[in-house]
Amino acid sequence: MSEFNDNNRLKFYCDDDRCIDCNGCAVACDEAHELPLGIRRRRVITLNEGVPGKEISTSIACMHCEDAPCSLVCPVDCFYIRADGVVLHDKDICIGCGYCLYACPFGAPQFPSEGVFGSKGSMDKCTMCAGGPEATNSEVEREEYGQNRISEGKVPVCAAMCSTKALLVGESAMIEKIYGDRVKARGYGFKDLKQTLTWKLAYYAGDRLKYSF
């Protein structure tokens, strides 16, 4: 794994107070990467649906974790973490064993079902719109991994299409500042983003062990 500064690494965060369960992020991801049926790199879930005052929606995908549990359990070592913190994998190495799915706290790894017995193909997951292992951003890579918007200086398509700007993505320090400004403006919420459960599970290994169920 390449060395990186935690404040400069790229991270995702969904502001639950802004998410309206429109699924715009999920649809944008499906369309931009031309994902096959059954593969959802990003999805929106709603907790306490129908319960007044307790309903919460949030957008979930690969969070590109600090130590990436998926990479720790992979028997063929197909994962790699870039210097900017983006967690990617090589589909040509992946054997479809599914260990990464069981290790991931966010259920991010996806597996295509092939044939009548549902045999799995190579794993697919959110790439933070950073493509695959090739630096060339070739047509072959685009076909296998989807758009590489990061190489074009663009934010991931899910965040770009979020109508309420609930889905934040960028350098850690920048996201913390944006979220902090929002909390001050609305007068409630976690004053320190590092104290939110999503942040702890994804970006701090010690906290993940503490909060794992």
- State pLDDT tens for residues 121-175: 789 999 999 998 876 678 888 888 999 999 889 999 999 999 999 999 999 999 9
Identify the CATH number of the domain in which residue 100 sits: 3.30.70.20
Q: 117 pLDDT band (50/70/90 cuts)?
A: very low
The answer to whether residue 72 is domain-embedded is yes
Q: Which domain holds residue 84?
A: 10-204
Look up the pTM and report it.
0.85
The answer to whether residue 95 is domain-embedded is yes
The answer to whether residue 149 is domain-embedded is yes
Contact 49, 40 (CB under 8 A): no
The answer to whether residue 140 is domain-embedded is yes
The answer to whether residue 157 is domain-embedded is yes
The answer to whether residue 24 is domain-embedded is yes
How many structural domains does the chain have?
1
Query: b vs e for 42-55, b when ≥16 Cβ sit within 10 Å of the residue's Cβ?
Result: bbbeeeeeeeeeee
What distance in Å separates the CA atoms of residue 111 and residue 36, rounded to the nearest whole number? 11
